[in-house]
């Protein structure tokens, strides 16, 4: 079932199991990589599908932006193999759900002040259309990180897709597996000179006072109008003196109960709001009785999929419920969905978790495709930045992607893994001038930290371009190579929202 829905074989051959019939020659299945006809038919099928595909120039009633945080091209390639091998395939020949989209491009991810992006400046770029400084959210590059005065000066604030969609009368939503106040989702609604200012407790003790990100989600002009917010980060909405439903203390110092405030504000705006904190509550939510929902399912980030319990909703389940709620608006909707824990796993050099979270992202895209009319819904899938994981070694097909290269040992006669990192916590010091013997490690452990060249507490991002996949109205606008801040301009064009050029004007 998963193989059918999550992975698409890139060959579309076998043609009902038919074999190649030549007189006097042994019969061979077309789905056979040693058969030259396999490759000819595969390439011809792709060519014909591209030639026959008409350009969709309709107005995009709905827009869904999927963001795999840290989902590098290397991560995509490794995840294909990871997911394929779980279903008895080699894996390289398969595609993730969104890799079948007809149009792809490459986005350049650097910040204005750094050559390698963080999630704050990149989020500002692909959500507002403005490139920013590292560590800043929803502000132009006129504001440096930590500049509270610059944040308070509204002249430097920038808004984008979320604001434009709301002004056009569309419903809006944010779904993430991280804290809903984390840098990536925050860029859709907040203005912060420091991505770390998620709650008031994080703000500097001296100097000017700036609104924290959680506060802006509840009281901000854009944040308060978001109809669906699903993810983690519950602690940033409750005071330290209060415990949440799981017994965890809140983190706020100002005594504000922002969940209660959110419910009151939404009701005053004429909405029918609901606060949920378990998977069951989310799945049982009646969209006819509640047209706005705040779901905070963990005090911090949501758990990794491989460690999730029965009451933790998956990214797919949150995405489906969001679409179900937002689809009630006859004017359409804009939904931002982040698979955020790909990034945190890479920072820990836990490749197994990173690949699994990418697979979860592919499932969420597949779930969305089943629910929307792709003729009137533009779906864009991309990443904010890459990571330093590499995929190497000349291994034979079928070799465990999370295991050792089986071609040969290194020149020191010690084995090495197919996946490794340029830097990070997986560094192991040499022993008697020899590289650490990885055969002594339990590389099958869920939390195994993969080898790193340079010792660093947290692995860093990478600076190369990231892939962009698009399907639906005006998806052909997303081909080629472009700056990351181009993305929201193209999405706004297709949906007839925002102040710039659109297909309607």
Q: Is 461 annotated as a binding residue?
A: yes
State the first-to-last Cα distance of the chain, in angstroms, to the nearest integer.
Answer: 44
Task: Judge contact between 452 and 423, C-beta under 8 A.
Answer: yes
Q: Is 182 annotated as a binding residue?
A: yes
CA distance 216 to 174: 14
CB atoms within 10 A of CB 154: 7
Active-site choice (119, 140, 316, 327): 119
Write the burial class of residue 284 (CB in 10 Å: 0-12 exposed, 13-18 middle, 19+ buried).
Answer: exposed
Q: Is 464 annotated as a binding residue?
A: no
The candidate with the shortest Cα–Cα distance to 296, out of 319, 308, 313, 321, is: 313
Q: Is the dihedral of CA 465, 467, 470, 476 positive or negative?
A: positive
Task: Judge contact between 187 and 117, C-beta under 8 A.
Answer: no
CA distance 133 to 147: 11
Q: Is the dihedral of CA 157, 161, 167, 171 positive or negative?
A: negative
The candidate with the shortest Cα–Cα distance to 396, out of 99, 87, 81, 80, is: 81
CA distance 220 to 347: 31
379: which strand partners?
Answer: 64, 471
User: Quick one: residue 472, left, alpha or beta (phi over 0 = left, psi -120 to 50 = alpha)?
Assistant: left
Q: Is 338 annotated as a binding residue?
A: yes
Task: Judge contact between 235 and 175, C-beta under 8 A.
Answer: no
Q: Is 347 annotated as a binding residue?
A: yes
Residue 422, SS3 per DSSP: strand
Q: Is 385 annotated as a binding residue?
A: yes
CA distance 454 to 74: 19
CA distance 199 to 120: 16
Is 395 a catalytic site residue?
no
Task: Judge contact between 95 and 7, C-beta under 8 A.
Answer: yes
| Active-site annotation, residues | 119
Annotated binding-site ranges: 69, 182, 184, 338, 343, 347, 384-385, 461
Annotated binding-site ranges for Mg(2+): 69, 182, 184, 338
Annotated binding-site ranges for Zn(2+): 69, 343, 347, 384-385, 461
């Amino acid at each position: 079932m998963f193989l059918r829905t999550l992975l698409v074989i890139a060959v579309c051959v076998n043609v009902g199991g038919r074999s190649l019939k030549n007189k006097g020659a042994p019969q061979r299945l077309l789905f056979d990589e040693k058969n030259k006809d396999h490759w000819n038919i595969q390439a011809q099928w792709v060519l014909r599908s591209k030639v026959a595909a008409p350009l969709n120039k309709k107005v995009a009633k709905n827009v869904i932006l999927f963001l795999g945080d840290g989902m590098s091209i290397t991560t995509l390639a490794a995840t294909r193999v990871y997911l394929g091998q779980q279903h008895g395939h080699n894996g390289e020949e398969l595609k993730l759900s969104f890799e079948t989209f007809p149009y792809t491009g490459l986005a350049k991810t650097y910040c204005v002040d750094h050559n390698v992006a963080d999630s704050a400046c990149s989020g500002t770029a692909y959500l507002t259309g403005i490139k920013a400084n590292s560590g800043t959210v929803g502000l132009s590059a006129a504001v440096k990180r930590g500049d509270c005065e610059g944040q308070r000066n509204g002249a430097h604030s920038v808004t984008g897709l979320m604001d434009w969609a709301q002004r056009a009368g569309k419903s809006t939503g944010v779904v993430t597996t991280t804290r809903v106040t984390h840098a990536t989702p925050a860029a859709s609604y907040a203005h912060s000179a420091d991505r770390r200012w998620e709650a008031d407790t994080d703000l500097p003790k001296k100097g000017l006072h700036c609104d924290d990100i959680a506060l802006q989600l509840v009281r901000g002009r854009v944040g308060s109008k978001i109809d669906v917010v699903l993810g983690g980060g519950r602690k940033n909405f409750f005071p330290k003196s209060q415990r949440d439903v799981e017994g965890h203390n809140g983190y706020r110092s100002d005594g504000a109960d922002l969940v209660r405030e959110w419910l009151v504000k939404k009701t005053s705006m004429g909405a029918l709001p609901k606060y949920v904190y378990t998977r069951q509550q989310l799945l049982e939510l009646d969209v006819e009785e509640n047209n706005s929902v705040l779901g905070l399912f963990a005090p911090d980030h949501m758990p990794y999929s491989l460690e999730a319990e029965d009451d933790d909703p998956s990214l797919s389940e949150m995405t489906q419920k969001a679409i179900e709620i937002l689809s009630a608006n006859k004017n359409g909707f804009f939904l931002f969905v982040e698979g955020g824990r790909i990034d945190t796993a890479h920072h820990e050099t836990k490749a197994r978790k990173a690949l699994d979270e990418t697979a979860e992202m592919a499932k969420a895209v597949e779930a969305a495709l089943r629910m929307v009319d792709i003729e009137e819904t533009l779906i864009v899938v991309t990443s904010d930045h890459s990571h330093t994981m590499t995929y190497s070694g000349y291994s034979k097909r079928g070799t465990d992607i999370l295991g050792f290269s089986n071609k040969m040992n290194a020149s020191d006669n010690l084995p090495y893994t197919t996946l490794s990192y340029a830097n990070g916590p997986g560094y192991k010091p040499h022993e008697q001038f020899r590289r650490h013997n990885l055969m002594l490690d339990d590389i099958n452990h869920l939390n195994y930290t993969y080898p790193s060249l340079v010792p660093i507490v947290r692995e860093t991002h990478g600076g190369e371009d990231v892939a962009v996949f698009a399907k639906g109205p005006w998806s052909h606008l997303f081909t080629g190579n472009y700056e990351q801040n181009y993305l929201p301009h193209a999405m706004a064009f297709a949906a007839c929202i925002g102040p710039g050029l659109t297909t309607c004007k």
